[in-house]
Amino acid sequence: MSETGPSSAPLTDGELKEAARPSPWRDVRVLRAAGQVLFVVILVVIAREMYLNATFAIGSAGRELSYTYLDSRAGFAIKEHIVGYSSNQPLYKAFLVGATNAMLVGAAGIVMATVLGVLIGVARLSPNWMVRKIALVYVEVFRNTPLLVQVIFWYVAVILAIPRIEDSVSVFGLAFVSNRGAALPAIRSGADFGTWSLFALAALLVAAIVWRWRTRVHERTGGPHYRWLSSLAVMAVLAAAGYVIVGDAFKVEVPELIAHGYSGGLQMSPEFAGILVALVFYTAAFIGEIVRGSILAVSKGQKEAAQALGLSPGQQLRLVVLPQAMRTAIPPINNQYLNLWKNTSLAFAVGFPDLINISTTMVNQAGHALETFSLVVGTYLGTSLLISFGMNIVNRAVALRGGTA
């Protein structure tokens, strides 16, 4: 679509306008416009037809299309939610819980799959035979088995096989793991967190100044800049000083083992872990292959030039190869992010309250299947477009920087 804009530009030049016009049915501009009009008309007709069919079907069953049911009481409990929820709240809140739960899995999955995927991709090209082969086996195993099977495998064969709550594994009494979930110590803000955050802000400012100073020194003298090391050290010292002066900035909340579960701390349910691990391992295999292909696509001369400059293998990869590989990798990785996000819907298989799990419950209790699933489609569509939008921004940024560097 975007290509038609620039390509039609030369045609509107004054000179061209003066030229003899061909008959309309042979005029490419007329044909192009007519084609677009026809396309839009067909699209509108199809959309209308679908809408009318849906309302007709609902009408003939004696009901009407309406979203007011979302205000009625949900009535069912949901075990995990990052937005507040109880069974007495309206249905739209339950839907929101499902959507945010799915998004949590999606966001965590995208970050973790990226890290693992890049590692796998680099490992696939490692000079070490062992590392190369392990990465190969990993990719082939996870890429060639159905994701649903993997989800169920992780949940049933791995996570449910962890010791029961009675035999909960304790890590120095600070963290616990059982097949009821994992509980880790959580850092929570204390009473004086606000005062401390002023110190933190000041630390950040000083660190930025140190960064610029080290950069200038480096540019002037050509000596090592140590800007990460020095600015982070300054920040850490100042923040720590602030913590000592203020006193109650943070609390560490250690989880406790109670009768049938854990209380306090940061908790992760087995269902969340099951779907997350499955999605990460599966998607990382694909991302790994994309990264490998993109690295291979970087001209061999680039690496040789880096070698000739005396860069270490790590520096070659980090400073020369990966930045260029990223340009090729980002569009296909975007596809993998979209896949991962949509695949969060497989959470139903392990009882994680995601969008699909909650929506099916809603449909069963309150009816309105068409309305509920239109919302589900809208949520997935909207979020997918947002991911694409974000990735486009990243793509543009990388492309520009790659061009000037």
Q: What contacts 24+ positions apart, CB below 8 Å, involve 152-161?
A: 152/349, 152/350, 153/278, 154/273, 154/274, 154/277, 154/278, 154/281, 155/270, 155/271, 155/274, 155/275, 155/278, 155/349, 155/350, 158/274, 158/277, 159/270, 159/273, 159/274, 159/277, 160/270
Regarding 349 and contact with another protein (CB under 8 A), the answer is: yes
Q: What angle do CA 243, 245, 250 make, to 5 degrees?
A: 30
d(CA 1, CA 338): 21
36 vs 307, beta carbon nearer another protein: 36
Nearest distance in Å: CB 352, another protein: 9
323 vs 351, beta carbon nearer another protein: 351
Touching another protein, residues 59-98 (CB under 8 A)? 60-63, 69, 75-79, 87-88
Nearest distance in Å: CB 341, another protein: 21
Is the Cα dihedral 130, 135, 136, 142 positive or negative? positive
Which range touches another protein (CB under 8 A), out of 159-167, 219-227, 234-242, 331-339? 159-167
Nearest distance in Å: CB 25, another protein: 17
37 vs 233, beta carbon nearer another protein: 37
Regarding 298 and contact with another protein (CB under 8 A), the answer is: no
51 vs 228, beta carbon nearer another protein: 51
Regarding 121 and contact with another protein (CB under 8 A), the answer is: no
d(CA 391, CA 329): 11
- How far separated are the first and last CA of the chain, in Å rounded? 30
Contact (Cβ atoms closer than 8 angstroms) between residue 203 and residue 239? yes
d(CA 214, CA 348): 52
Touching another protein, residues 178-237 (CB under 8 A)? 179-180
The dihedral region occupied by 247, where left means phi > 0, alpha psi between -120 and 50, and beta the remainder, is: left
d(CA 219, CA 226): 12
Which range touches another protein (CB under 8 A), out of 158-166, 229-237, 297-305, 325-333? 158-166
**Length of the chain, please?**
405
Out of 197, 365, 384, 388, name the contact with another protein by CB under 8 A: 365
50 vs 229, beta carbon nearer another protein: 50
CA of residue 404 relative to chain centroid, distance: 28
- The Cβ of residue 375 has, within 10 Å, a number of other Cβ atoms equal to 19
Contact (Cβ atoms closer than 8 angstroms) between residue 103 and residue 348? no
Nearest distance in Å: CB 149, another protein: 13
Number of residues that bind another protein (CB under 8 A): 58
Which residue has 């929101």 as its token pair?
96
Nearest distance in Å: CB 285, another protein: 25
Nearest distance in Å: CB 146, another protein: 16
Out of 28, 31, 50, 52, name the contact with another protein by CB under 8 A: 52
Regarding 44 and contact with another protein (CB under 8 A), the answer is: yes
Nearest distance in Å: CB 181, another protein: 9
92 vs 193, beta carbon nearer another protein: 92
d(CA 310, CA 312): 6
Regarding 357 and contact with another protein (CB under 8 A), the answer is: yes
Binding-site ranges for another protein (CB under 8 A): 5, 8-9, 12-14, 33, 36-37, 40-41, 44-45, 48, 52, 56, 60-63, 69, 75-79, 87-88, 152, 156, 160-161, 164-166, 179-180, 258-261, 270-271, 348-351, 353, 357, 360-361, 363-369
